[in-house]
Structure 1
Amino acid sequence: MRKGNKTMNTNFEHYRIFYYVAKYGNLTKAATVLHTSQPSVTRTIHNLEKNLNCRLFERSKVGMKLTPEGEVFYEYIAAGCAQFFKAESNLSDMLSLENGTIYVSATETALHCYLFQAMESFNEQYPNVHFKILNNSTRKSINIVKEGNVDFAVVSAPFQIEKPLQQKVLRKYHDILIGGKRFEELKGQKISIKQLAQYPWISLTPEAITRKFLNQYFEKNGLKFEADMELATTDMILPAVRHNLGIGFIPPEFAKDDLESGEVFEIEVKETFPQRNIILIYDTEYPQSIAAKAFLRFLN
């Protein structure tokens, strides 16, 4: 800014102080917000008016009122300050994404079928954001979200939830039935689930939601499911099939390498296995960190 032919050396701090005095119309309140003293604010306004060669405020017992010149000046200063404040906020967000930590509870299937890939892609953009992953069942993951111990959960089975919890489907998929070399007579043909029921089956234990899903599938086809081998986790089904201990349903991501190498093969079933979902569970009232908010936007 120029006064005649002389360049003014007013710095941004003067404009910032002017902005808060004009905004609140009170020297004491402006000083409190700025974490400085009232005499310092008064002195700055006096020097700014001297540099501009005009009065910016009318002073009274009730406060500070902008003069017509002050009102015009405030329009420009407020617009400039808004941009500076926005830049500061965005920079703060960026810095949070440089060292933030995201807490997630996830089921084993959700990790393999969705979350690992999502975290890898997110870290390509924000390599310094860290993840703390708790591997839990759907039920326990939802309880942990309720307790506020994680930012959100990613699960692989439907579950009844209540507000303030919300859910969103992130991905849809179908389990595939796999077998090992012992059952090669099943390769290359479509077989009914009724015929397959006679074979040895590998599945999760009865309390697992995935097992209940399998029970319903058999019941829908007029059959009762009986497992020859029950395992605690989904990732144990593949090696059991690989060792010819039975056949079993599994998400395709778990068996990708073994299918490609020929260690196991997909058994085509006439009755389509029902669609399954990878689901995001979060608490709308939980205060998310900058990093967690960015990852949620990324997932969506």
Structure 2
Amino acid sequence: MAVNFEYYRVFCQVARSRSFTGAARALMSSQPSVTRCIQSLEQQLGCTLFVRTRRGVSLTAEGELLYHTVGPACERLQQGEAELAGALSLQGGVVRLSSTETALHELLLDRMDSFRARWPGVRLHLNNGTTPQALAHLRSGRVEMAVVSGPVQTGKEVRLHPLVRVEEMLVAGPGMAHLARKPLHLRDLAGLPMICLEPGTCARDFYDELFAAKGLNLNPEVEVTTADLVLATVQHDLGVGFVPAGLARPLVESGAVTPLRLAFSMPPRWIYAARVQGRPLSAASRAFWKHLTEGSEG
């Protein structure tokens, strides 16, 4: 038996309102239209669902049985419709994304802040890790987009959109602040105690290749897992290290660390937005992607 869902929707509203007139008002319809829907439903089901009372209508035994099952289903469907409408109008919805630490500090936090100011009803679910981890989450469908720092190697299934160039800063702690007196060459850095991210990260690969291109070896004094640990280790004078400028700037301004000058130009390194080609984004994620990529340098 194929019953029009609209009949069930009207039935549930009459059952809640205990009145054909009240149901018509709630449904923004007319009483005759509500009456016709209920009559059609009763004819299809072969039973009477309501009886008239002095105050309106009440459910029959068959009506009670039907409402016990159909009522919760109608509520869930109406809730789903409302949630979908909210998501499409950006009054609700979720953006699931993954990011690297560098991308987070250099770009993403500011973009998330401005997005939430514009669409406060949209929730942002963020996880962070290395570029390979973020891209793995993207490919698996765990997130809809990733914001990662280069260098990046992906297959054709991943679309990359360059956003901004990575700005990193070489910093030293109080005991090594004297190194700021003159610009440093790459060979100078090879002779200093360097603090670096561990192998397998894109940032570490970038600096390994930078040194190797000049015939130098990067042999870190200390290896850590995150950029904020590089900064903390630098503060304790265990060496010098490259960190995202956005992360280092507050400590530079407070005098806790000192920026060191370079006598060479760093090769360009980019932050990218990534998504899987051909995989549709939710309404909230489409809005965030547009917000993220509009006005980008790339």
Q: Does 1:187 align with 2:180?
A: yes
Aligned partner letter, 1:121 = S
Residue number in structure 2 paired with 1:163: 156
1:1-300 equivalent positions in 2, closer than 5 A = 92=85, 96-300=89-293
State the shift of 1:176 in Å. 1.6
Q: Deviations over 1:45-79 (max 9, x none)?
A: xxxxxxxxxxxxxxxxxxxxxxxxxxxxxxxxxxx
> What is the rounded CA distance, in whole Å, between the counterparts of 2:236 and 2:284 in structure 1?
43
Change (3 A) 1:286 1:247: same
Per the alignment, in what secondary structure is the counterpart of residue 120 of structure 1? helix
Question: Structure 1: which 5+ runs fail to align?
Answer: 1-12, 14-36, 38-90
Aligned residue pairs, count: 216
> What is the rounded CA distance, in whole Å, between the counterparts of 2:136 and 2:88 in structure 1?
31
Instruction: Answer yes or no: is the 8 Å Cα contact 2:198–2:224 preserved in 1.
Output: yes
> What is the rounded CA distance, in whole Å, between the counterparts of 2:142 and 2:109 in structure 1?
20
Q: Looking at CA atoms only, which structure, 1 or 2, has the larger radius of gyration?
A: 1
Instruction: Answer yes or no: is the 8 Å Cα contact 1:105–1:135 preserved in 2.
Output: yes
Q: CA RMSD in A?
A: 2.4
The two structures have a TM-score, normalised by structure 1, of 0.67
Residue number in structure 1 paired with 2:43: none
Identical counterparts, % of pairs: 33
State the shift of 1:135 in Å. 1.0
Instruction: Answer yes or no: is the 8 Å Cα contact 1:174–1:275 preserved in 2.
Output: no
Question: Structure 2: which 5+ runs fail to align?
Answer: 1-28, 30-39, 41-83, 294-298
Per the alignment, in what secondary structure is the counterpart of residue 160 of structure 1? coil
Instruction: Answer yes or no: is the 8 Å Cα contact 1:98–1:129 preserved in 2.
Output: yes
Aligned partner letter, 1:126 = W
> What is the rounded CA distance, in whole Å, between the counterparts of 2:188 and 2:151 in structure 1?
29
> What is the rounded CA distance, in whole Å, between the counterparts of 1:287 and 1:214 in structure 2?
36
State the shift of 1:184 in Å. 2.1
